[in-house]
Amino acid sequence: MRKLFITSFTFLIVCSASGQDQKTLLDYQTDGDQRMVAFEFKIAIDDFNKAISLSPNDANLYLRRGICKENLQYYDEAIKDFSKAISFSPNPDYYNYRANVEFILKQYPQAINDYNKALENEETGTVNAISYYQRGMAKYYTKDKDGACADFAKSYVADNTYNKTMDALTNYCGGLPEGSTPESNALVSSSENPEIKSAIGSLIEKGQEKEAAGDMKDAEEDFTKAINLDVNNAKTWWERGKFREKSGNPPGAIDDFTKSLNLVPDVKVFKDKAETEYNSGNYKAAVNDYTQALSYHNNLENFLYYSRGLAEYKSGDQAAGCQDMQMAKKENYPGADAALNTYCGSEDNDDNVPTLANAAREELNRGIYYWLIEDYDNARIEFTRSIQLNPASSDAWFCRAKIWFTLGQKDNACLDLNQAMVLGEPDALGFIKKYCGGE
């Protein structure tokens, strides 16, 4: 079973935009990768053009160039590049990228066909949960409601913590599948009044929009208004908790997560509460909440064992931490080998054992993957984990700063930019001057 272990094409890139053109294929590709993550897509396309001229049959180069064109909204050209990549290597991920663009263009039958190709192996995990959800939406827009609801249900099975699937099942299909585990109930309003349910949804949406625009005071007011409409709705407490965590109010976030959990125990809320406690240095409380999260059947076990292991180690319980790292390794979590080697004195200490820095790089690359598919919350989590594994990585601080900007969290972004600058990131100062008012 695949969980949060991304086995597909991973971008071996960093988040700096420095470097000069070189004449080798690898250098053109590296420069293009760096420009892509710096959102300099036109320059990246030029680099990939040069790389393709040196290696015209490399599917990954066409994929990279297609991603750049998609971000520039050159959708027809992006489809051509993804098609070229598929012609050289019919990788399920390539079909997924092409399907996403076809979906944007409202070419729903074509998108459905490509999602079919992407999902042929029907593995579980966050990536396929997203694909099932997208195919379900394409079917919904083509008036195939039964097919859409079947796909939403498959998305739920692939990853029962993917929020969009929960919302789609609730909004379009009359609720979650029969036999759903209790952790999902927090997404359903406790109010039976449809007007109140609609008003709560509208306020949460407005709060999220204001949060994205950086209007933090008004955003919190909207989340609070939603809570006041139905104080027994666990989802509203959770939503405000997530907002407070991202806006730099960990105590307020923990309080909201606790109130949500008192109403309805939910694996996602336990995880978010544990992450907030861990990042606040409250490791024993984090261990307790990771343990609660692990008591539910879900597709996050590998991540949760790994995270609880780190929290146990930080709280002084090395034996328990190492035991959890062994479980994370058994569940194929990237970085577990390196953590065992670093924290637990693995006897397999040779050149083939990953270093902690390599584990941090894996987290960084996985964060970049989520970033490029616009899953910003998961990207932020991965960049944070990379920083925890290797606090001296300027790349991870710089990447997370850009995610904070994307999420409308300027203050957090500027703090991370300052740390990246201290660690030697050459482009951080320019961002600070441009966006943070630095001299």
User: pLDDT tens digits for 2-35?
Assistant: 333 333 333 434 454 444 444 588 888 888 877 7
Q: Return the structure tokens found at 51.
A: 């790389």
Report pLDDT for 426: 80
Domain ranges of the chain: 25-184, 355-439
- What CA–CA distance (Å, rounded) separates 432 from 439? 8
pLDDT-based confidence at residue 80 (cuts at 50, 70, 90):
very high
pLDDT-based confidence at residue 36 (cuts at 50, 70, 90):
confident
Alpha carbon of 74 to those of 78, 79, 95, 370, 371: distances in Å? 6, 9, 18, 21, 19
CATH superfamily label, 355-439? Tetratricopeptide repeat domain (1.25.40.10)
- Phi, psi (deg, nearest 5) at residue 14: -120, 170
pLDDT-based confidence at residue 408 (cuts at 50, 70, 90):
confident
Higher pLDDT, 124 or 220: 220
Q: What pTM does this model have? A: 0.54
- Phi, psi (deg, nearest 5) at residue 193: -80, 115
pLDDT-based confidence at residue 355 (cuts at 50, 70, 90):
low
Q: Which residues contact 21 (CB under 8 A, 6 or more apart)?
A: 27, 28, 31, 47, 50
Report pLDDT for 56: 93
Q: Which residues contact 39 (CB under 8 A, 6 or more apart)?
A: 71
Cβ(242)–Cβ(212) below 8 Å: no
Report pLDDT for 369: 66
Residues 327-349: pLDDT tens digits? 888 877 766 776 777 677 654 44
Q: How many other CB atoms are there within 10 angstroms of residue 384's CB atom? A: 18
- Across 44-48, 128-132, 192-196, 305-309, least confident range: 192-196
Report pLDDT for 172: 79
Report pLDDT for 264: 86
Q: In this prediction, what percent of the chain has a pLDDT beyond 90?
A: 18
pLDDT-based confidence at residue 297 (cuts at 50, 70, 90):
low
Fold of 25-184: 1.25.40
Residues 127-166: pLDDT tens digits? 577 888 889 999 999 999 889 888 888 887 777 666 677 7
Q: Is the pLDDT of residue 107 over 50?
A: yes
Spell out where 66-163 has E strands. none
Q: Which residues contact 94 (CB under 8 A, 6 or more apart)?
A: 59, 63, 82, 85, 86
Burial status of residue 143 (CB atoms within 10 A of its CB: 0-12, 13-18, 19 or more)? exposed
Q: Is the pLDDT of residue 240 over 90?
A: yes
Q: Is 355-439 in the same CATH topology as 25-184? A: yes
Q: What average pLDDT does range 100-119 have in this prediction?
A: 91
Q: How many other CB atoms are there within 10 angstroms of residue 363's CB atom? A: 23
